[in-house]
Amino acid sequence: MSLPSSLADVDCWAINLDRRADRWAWVTGHLRNRGLQQPQRFAAIDGRLTTSPDEIARYRRELPSGIGPIAADIGCTKSHLGLLRCLAEAPKPWTLIVEDDVALHRDIHPRWSILAPKAPKDALMILLGCKHEQPPVSLGEGEPSWCRITHATCAHAYLVSDESLPLLIEATADVARSFDVAWNQVHQLGRTYAPLPHLAIQREDYSDISGRRRPIRSRHLGIGVQ
């Protein structure tokens, strides 16, 4: 499916906890500054208030961070799943989803104008930012360029196509793993792509999931990957 020629024309949703009004103020101002649409707000599920002991017992985070199965992470997974189910009720060709701590490249529009015409025509999903747990497959030369995702986590800004929605929902529906780990089942189809360098990162901020300040490393930017 052809990508939109401009990200400014794409419907945008931002996931935000009720108690994090500071992040809502940040993300709305940041997206406005970057020339994107005012995001629609999806109220995130607070895992610390809603997670049962049984859900924690069967949950496997499966990330290399050493963080165990915690309620906040389950809430994050439920939030992304809930938004996808909402979008599936009236799917658009493409929808932009961001977490409320996203930071977009200052040249996102000129870079996208170069990237969009060169995108693979079978694109199912685009990760504007992620962490590469396994090296992606480079698809071009120069800057910017595309890569095919092999195994990635931390999907904090991404484009979903209407075709991808049922696949992502099915992969996440049992809420037994972190949503972005579960989505590697979809990425294995070979139709998930990311720009190199990335067009989005999670800004350096306190993480409600890890309980610590999150540093920015080169793999967050898609720099230094093969």
Domain ranges of the chain: 7-221
Architecture, CATH, for domain 7-221: Alpha-Beta Complex (3.90)
Residue 31: count of CB within 10 angstroms of its CB: 19
- Per-residue model confidence as pLDDT tens digits over 161-183: 999 999 999 999 998 888 999 99
b/e code 80-93 from CB counts within 10 Å (16+ = b): bbbbbeebeeebee
For residue 156, the 8-state DSSP code is E
Place of tokens 């792509």: 193
Q: Percentage of residues in the chain with pLDDT exceeding 70? A: 85
Torsion of CA 152, 158, 160, 166, to 10 degrees: 50
Which residues partner with 15 through β-bridges?
A: 42, 99
Residue 62 pLDDT: 62
Question: Cα 123 to the chain's mean position, in Å?
Answer: 15
DSSP-assigned letters across all residues of 139-160: ---SSSEEEE-SEEEEEEEEEE
> 3-state SS of the chain: helix, strand, coil percent to 5?
35, 25, 40
Which of 62-71, 111-120, 186-195, 208-217 has the lowest average pLDDT? 208-217
pLDDT higher than 60, residue 186: yes
